A and B are shown apart, each in its own frame.
Chain A
């Protein structure tokens, strides 16, 4: 096995490209992907011909080819030594960075582009439908899958509502707790020019926002965005000679508990974070107390709360009281989702927390920059808390 001491800080994020996000119409996911990659190369000071690795992840609007690998010919990347499409839902982005880092470390490639692109929004059509999964009138999947349709349980919102409700039932978590997360992240978004929702909100605004699927209000749910994010991973040495301050990759891990849908399996209140964290923190040589800034996957407010518990920021079940005092918000003791996250910033699946993690590690957050940012925790989450990925980033090589 590779010695952790060698891997820690051996690779870095050298480039970041974020397209315009949100209701940006008239473009395909391929177009967004190309634009993000162009921006990332420009950011790093690299040429297209320098790229010898490409890892692709697609959202609900597919990219061309098997898992999106036709992006290679679309973009005329002829020097690739590493190419594949990847998919573990919202955990994918951080896992792409992990495979990129390992590939660079072991000499399979020098500069690996990790790209996520999506374009679910169409002009004049609501965004929520993109993820509703109802299939519309007349659609009935055969067999047991049809029960979801028969009982009116549609889409990801409905599933996360079940998870949040289970946590509330077990631990007394309340909508006030979820609301504190929404309010805090909106306050961060107000300081992010690239965020989709920047109007400050109060806890009463949160409670007044319509129910989507109880216990989830509209303001518990992430945005839907058209756009793309590209991240370039290079060796620490190469990254140091490029345009941007490197965001060194200190630690990485994954945890995939899945969901067995049966007694004794707490898929609704337990994530893969404890498994992913063990390896990532060991590699990074850190403990939870060393973390300065968090970028936690936040498809729902509840996801943030349960993730904090599973990293050990607080005891299991104590996530509600832990977040209630606003410690995640600007001015709080644990700056979290400082770009507004997926709730208020933009929704690029796992790339949302990664992009802001890179910004913070580099110290480029401007008004919203966390004062202390030596250790940045980034998390990914796929399925209904079924898949988890961890990255630890730092502006310091060691």
Chain B
């Protein structure tokens, strides 16, 4: 996708997710880890939903997980995606636990299976933004 101008919507970091987006640009999948109970979570929630602690640190995830579930979008809900349908969208369950919304690449949609192992692909869609997509892995 690097050759042509990227035409799909590009996300922007907010204060809570700055490290996540910065990490992606450097090829790292960054998660929050609760320093009280050690559970990982996605940025955006101030406290750990288990122990309610707000003590956290950023930790690099392995980038590996499994395809928890996926869908194939046919409906043209957004003008930027209108020429792309049908396309897949997915929830990947990271080895660390959290489930991340993404697309699966380097795989025919017909070959997608729940629970198949996947790994992160860092897709630099602009100078500022890198999207974390996933591809099948062993």
Contacts and interface: CB of A to CB of B under 8 A. Distances in A.
Interface of A: 128-129, 132-134, 136-137, 139-140, 142-155, 157-158, 161-163, 165-166, 168-170, 210-216, 260-264, 268
B11 A165 contact: no
A155 B42 CA distance: 21
Nearest to A141: B11
B14 interface: yes
B51 interface: no
B49 A260 contact: yes
Given A162-B91, A169-B69, A169-B115, A143 B75 contact: no
Interface in B60-96: 68-75, 77-81, 84, 86-87, 89-91, 93
Contact of A170 (B42, B78, B103, B114): B114
B115 to A, nearest CB: 6
A292 B114 CA distance: 36
A143 B14 CA distance: 5
Contact of B10 (A136, A140, A260): A140
Contacts of B131: 150-151
B97 A157 contact: no
A161 B71 contact: yes
Contacts of A151: 89-90, 101-103, 131
Given A158-B71, A166-B68, A169-B115, A147 B77 contact: no
Contacts of B40: 262
Contact of B42 (A137, A152, A154, A261): A261
A34 to B, nearest CB: 33
Nearest to A157: B75
B74 A152 contact: no
A211 B11 contact: no
Contact of A143 (B43, B103, B113, B114): B43
Contacts of B77: 128-129, 132-134, 154-155
A147 B115 CA distance: 21
A317 to B, nearest CB: 14
A158 B87 CA distance: 12
A157 B131 CA distance: 23
A384 B34 CA distance: 26
A148 B101 contact: yes
Contacts of A144: 16-17, 20, 42-44
A146 B125 CA distance: 15
B8 A211 contact: no
With most chain A CB atoms within 10 A of its CB, the pick from B11, B14, B72 is: B11
A137 B79 contact: yes
24 contacts: A134-B77, A139-B9, A144-B44, A146-B12, A147-B101, A147-B102, A149-B9, A150-B8, A150-B11, A151-B89, A151-B90, A151-B101, A154-B75, A154-B77, A158-B71, A161-B71, A162-B71, A163-B69, A165-B70, A169-B115, A211-B72, A211-B86, A212-B75, A215-B71
Nearest to B66: A263
With most chain B CB atoms within 10 A of its CB, the pick from A150, A170, A215 is: A150
